[in-house]
Amino acid sequence: MSEFIKVGVKSDFKDLRGKAIKVHDTTVAVIRIADRIYAIQDACPHMGASLADSVVGRGQVICSWHGWAYDLETGACDMARANCAKIFPVKIEGEDVLVGPAPQEEKAPEPEPEPLIEWDPDKFLKKKPEPSEES
């Protein structure tokens, strides 16, 4: 599913307000700030509060439960880099507002496994002197 879905017309979205809308299999908060319309995952990455019902301003949505703020362009959170919210692309066609799927997350490469420690008994056990060395 990679196509954009119509979520409404521009006038459906009030300034500084969000609306939770199902897009594909995800609920997205569609948020308007002046003439810009943004789409961000609705469930706050912290504990799942609806970002559509949260405070909006200065290019951010601030979660109403614990105050974590998410940038509406990037999804970056002010509290923890690991808790970014997914941003969905928005297209405006005439009056129609369309939301596309979130870009696929780049998978971080698997870390190389730690090498096993090689057991070298000579390094850990005292070596008895060779008979030729004793005399």
Site residues, ligand FES (CB under 6 A) = 44, 46-49, 63, 65-66, 68
CB of 87 to ligand FES, least distance (A): 16
Strand order in the sheet with 90-93: 5-9, 96-99, 90-93
**Residue in 8, 2, 12, 1 with CA at minimum distance from that of residue 98:** 8
Does residue 77 contact residue 84 with C-beta atoms inside 8 Å? yes
CB of 115 to ligand FES, least distance (A): 41
Question: Which of 12, 53 has the CB closer to ligand FES?
Answer: 53
CB of 44 to ligand FES, least distance (A): 3
